[in-house]
Structure 1
Amino acid sequence: MLDITRQTPPLPGAAPLSREADATLTEQLAARFAERIRARLLAPGARLPSVRECARRHEVSPTTVVAAYDQLLAQGLVEARAQRGFFVRGPVAEIRAPHFPPAPRSPVPISATTLIRGMFQPPGAQPMPGLGTLPADWLDAPLLASAMRKVSTQLGNSALQYGEPAGEARLRRALAARLAEHGITARADQIVTTVGATHALDVVTRTLLKPGDSVLVDEPGWSVEYARLAALGLRVLPVPRGPEGPDLAVMERLIEAQTEATRPRLYVTVSVLHNPTGASLSLQSAHKVLQLAARHDFAIVEDDTYAHLAPAHLPRLAALDALERTVYISGFSKILTPSWRVGFLAAPSRWVDRLIDTKLLTTLTTPSLTELALAHCLEHGLLRRHAERIQRLLNAARTRSVELARAHGCRFMAEPRGLFGWVDTGVDTERLAQRMHDDGWLIAPGALFHATHRPTTLMRINFATTQDARFWQALQAAREAQPLS
């Protein structure tokens, strides 16, 4: 196997990539590799440089390299091999360059999957303001390692078998105690563990809905959730989200406009520290949402992913509803580590067996070792103390990020709270995102947070990763380089 990382240095005299060219850095880099492949300077089976090496060699960001390699994949010039990298496809002779008339250049879109890809940066990469995770140096690796060691010494023959279908009983008991702090009464047998909160959302929608069913969602809302619901063939009915909660008048009009066959079966919402605005549901709005759900007979999925970053006393629909028609979902990726992938759902007893069946069909069971380690962290107060430290760090980061944003001409469209800020830049943020992407910064344009595409001057920032003044300087320069919307 050829490895061009070592065997093929840059072409002699090849010009460096230019930020002043009409084509983006992504397009220039993809075109450079495509030209070498079609000229047979790269043989079939040759391995392209790693993302990190390519970024270093061409003085661009890793996200630019990933986007360029994605373009080569789409052209059929390379193939991706799991855990190994990108390789030239062969035989080269069969590869034909498409011949299309010249067309205006369109930017590479910043999509939900682009944000997900950005989460897989190598350690040490610069902070990405568009991502939804905490910085690695805020997390507590020794705490995780200690918990894993502790439970590893207690494993018996159960470690050699599949785990319990509903999840480790010890963890489910600890989670029931945790939910009681939010006023949610749930027995351990009403709780099902999952591979992260996203998997819990998937289990619920696959269990309660079928393709063609309608789902009420907050707008703006989580871009990945829109993409996931669309992939399941569900009809999304966006409800405007304000500082107190959903626009209840719009929600009722949407419901009443449907036929019996198309009436909403589910409402998916982030009630506390809403993504992307940071707002939380008021007690009055929570009561009215539940009244609407009872009147029109739809279930509610309450995604409390950011529970560990918020005060415990904030209203939860599942507490007010006593888990009658509400499924409560949360996870630990945002507070402990994204890699453990432990989430859970708490549901009405009548749905639990069906939810477990769906879990079995999608993942069989969930990893016992990480579930037991998490149970240890909950039982001994380790997670609580860690979360208190993270909240202090986040409060300080939020203060600095807000000051920097305002100093560079941005304004907040919602009171800054929690992990995310909803910021007005004054320019089209999709075009802004492309300019920033080429300069090595991944931002989250506001269009991502709408169920249907629309131009917007808004973007979501992560307060934990926007304390670097260089980012705001780069943003200001990029704003000034494009016309106002």
Structure 2
Amino acid sequence: MTNTVGLAEGLAADLAQRIDQRLLLPGARLPSVREAARLHGLSPYTVVAAYDRLQAQGLVEARRQRGFYVRDAKPAPRPAPTGTARAASGPAPFDAMTLIRNLLRSEHQDSPAHGTLPQSWLDAAPLRQALRAALAPGQEGLLLRYADPAGDPELRQVLAQRLAEIGIASDAEQILTTVGATQALDLIAHELTQPGDAVLVDEPGWPIEYARLVLAGLRLLPVRRGAQGPDLEQMAQLIREHRPRLYVTVSVLHNPTGHCLNLAQAYEVLRLCEGGEVLIVEDDTYAAFAPAHSPRLAALDGLRRTLYVSGFAKVLGAGLRVGYVTGRPDLIARLGERKLVHELCTSALLERALAGVLARGALRRQVERVQQRLEAARARCARLAGQHGFAFAAPPQGLFGWLDTGVDSERLTQRMLLEGFACAPELLFSPSRRSGPHIRVNFACSQDAKFWAALARTRASLA
């Protein structure tokens, strides 16, 4: 009996840790007693005892004839269906803060669920050289006085030149630097909307952005995003019915699907948003990985109804928290005032160093090296996926692939944890918490053949 109690305590502690780390999200169904007993090599009696302990701790709940489910510590009322989609509001769809902490904690580990390049792929030498140059004698002002509230003038001039290379005509005065692209998106959410406003978002999409918008008091209107881009018919109906203020989207190398809008799709999106007076927020965080000549909404629109946001953390290193936003002068002025009130200014030292990296062509050389490795990584992942009977929803490009597993990806993710691999299931990228068969795969971090073999075994066990 003592051994049984110890085993039950161990299983309960393991599951409690996964719940605490949000590896098991609120609403997730635990494996059935019989299934859990087989997976862990325990008796059904021991599994029941472990589940009872979790229930006593308030971590799970038993639903009659349905099993055990992870409880939501902060339950939110279900939004009522409206038209063809639900407008999500209230608390964030899951604990975004826990998700962010988990991402930061696992930064040193290669994982198929990871959101960045492996550290071994990056080269810090150009940034170190640029920092030394920025700290040379005569440059002490970068450390001793406040910076330009709009951002380092040299950097903004270089950014204007880079924007022109992808077809976006922007003066340096129309560019506002921020603490990463994250702050730019946060400034937009709080300055250009009012609590209660509706906002169009892609589904699937980036969960941290969902959480940011919800915390600003906004209602999310999910627009289905597939291999052909956003569902234009659904978007048109949502615009008619809800009059959304913003459409926050990733048009190039969409996260998580990896899809890029083509010209025809981009023009239709611009037409719908212009007719509905919807301001487009184009997040181009993965611009460095984009195929050549990828059309940007901001370029086609001429920044009339588009705010373009980007940064450099994904290709130069996550520690470089420098991003920027460009758009109409009146909108940039409003965002600049909010930045001034909340931050005063950003780091003149980091921005001047980044200007040096860009001006000397170091970023271009880094991107070329990364692109070569990514091309090989995508080819290997596509080959391994095909060998094990998997297919990507869109041709592999960029950093991420949207893999169709053929089974419930939430249950698949739970099983893969037992195999030692963390996965990113479809539920994670859905503002309406819709589950499905897809997982997001980081090509650079999914080179281990053991991962694909474990994925195939787990799918077979669920099928």
- The verdict on a shared fold, with TM-score over 0.5 as the criterion, is yes
Q: Is the 8 A contact 2:61 2:69 kept in 1?
A: no
Q: Residues 33-112 of structure 1 correspond to what in structure 2 (within 5 A)?
A: 103=62, 105-106=68-69, 112=96
Aligned mates of 1:157, 1:232 — CA distance in 2 = 36
Among candidates 1, 5, 11, match of residue 23 of structure 1: 11
Among candidates 144, 158, 161, match of residue 127 of structure 2: 144
Change (3 A) 1:167 1:16: farther
Q: Is the 8 A contact 1:25 1:438 kept in 2?
A: no
Q: Residues 247-266 of structure 1 correspond to what in structure 2 (within 5 A)?
A: 247-258=231-242, 263-266=243-246
Q: Which residue pairs with 2:85 in the alignment?
A: none
Q: Residues 294-333 of structure 1 correspond to what in structure 2 (within 5 A)?
A: 294-333=274-313
Q: Which residue pairs with 2:203 in the alignment?
A: 219
Among candidates 387, 402, 413, match of residue 393 of structure 2: 413
Is 1:428 the counterpart of 2:408 in the alignment?
yes
Unmatched runs of 5 consecutive residues or more in structure 1? 1-12, 31-62, 72-96
Residue by residue over 1:330-389, the C-alpha shift from the partner in whole angstroms, topping out at 9 and shown as x without a partner, is 011111001111110001011122101111233331111111111001111110111111
Aligned mates of 1:415, 1:241 — CA distance in 2 = 15
Q: Is the 8 A contact 1:112 1:448 kept in 2?
A: no
Q: Residues 152-191 of structure 1 correspond to what in structure 2 (within 5 A)?
A: 152-153=135-136, 155-191=139-175
Aligned mates of 1:108, 1:384 — CA distance in 2 = 48
Aligned mates of 1:99, 1:459 — CA distance in 2 = 31
Count of residue pairs the alignment pairs up: 406
Determine helix, strand or coil for the equivalent of 2:11: coil
Among candidates 326, 334, 341, match of residue 354 of structure 1: 334
How large is the Cα RMSD of the aligned pairs?
A: 2.9
Residue by residue over 1:12-44, the C-alpha shift from the partner in whole angstroms, topping out at 9 and shown as x without a partner, is x999997x999366337x5xxxxxxxxxxxxxx
Q: Residues 370-449 of structure 1 correspond to what in structure 2 (within 5 A)?
A: 370-449=350-429
Q: Which residue pairs with 2:269 in the alignment?
A: 289
Instruction: Report the alpha carbon displacement of residue 273 of structure 1 after superposing the two structures with TM.
Output: 0.7
TM-score, structure 1 normalization: 0.77
Determine helix, strand or coil for the equivalent of 1:335: helix
Structure 1 stretch displaced more, 196-205 or 354-363: 354-363
Aligned mates of 1:427, 1:174 — CA distance in 2 = 47
Q: Residues 227-242 of structure 1 correspond to what in structure 2 (within 5 A)?
A: 227-242=211-226
Q: Is the 8 A contact 1:331 1:342 kept in 2?
A: yes
Residue by residue over 1:141-180, the C-alpha shift from the partner in whole angstroms, topping out at 9 and shown as x without a partner, is 2222112112111522342122211111111111000000
Among candidates 226, 230, 234, match of residue 246 of structure 1: 230
Aligned mates of 1:210, 1:373 — CA distance in 2 = 36
Instruction: Report the alpha carbon displacement of residue 301 of structure 1 after superposing the two structures with TM.
Output: 0.5
Change (3 A) 1:102 1:349: closer
- Give the aligned residue type for 2:301: D
Aligned residues: percent identity?
48
Change (3 A) 1:17 1:138: farther
Residue by residue over 1:304-338, the C-alpha shift from the partner in whole angstroms, topping out at 9 and shown as x without a partner, is 11111013411111111111111000011111001
TM-score, structure 2 normalization: 0.81
Is 1:279 the counterpart of 2:259 in the alignment?
yes
Instruction: Report the alpha carbon displacement of residue 472 of structure 1 after superposing the two structures with TM.
Output: 1.6
Q: Which residue pairs with 1:77 in the alignment?
A: none
Determine helix, strand or coil for the equivalent of 2:222: strand
Determine helix, strand or coil for the equivalent of 2:411: helix
Change (3 A) 1:477 1:342: same
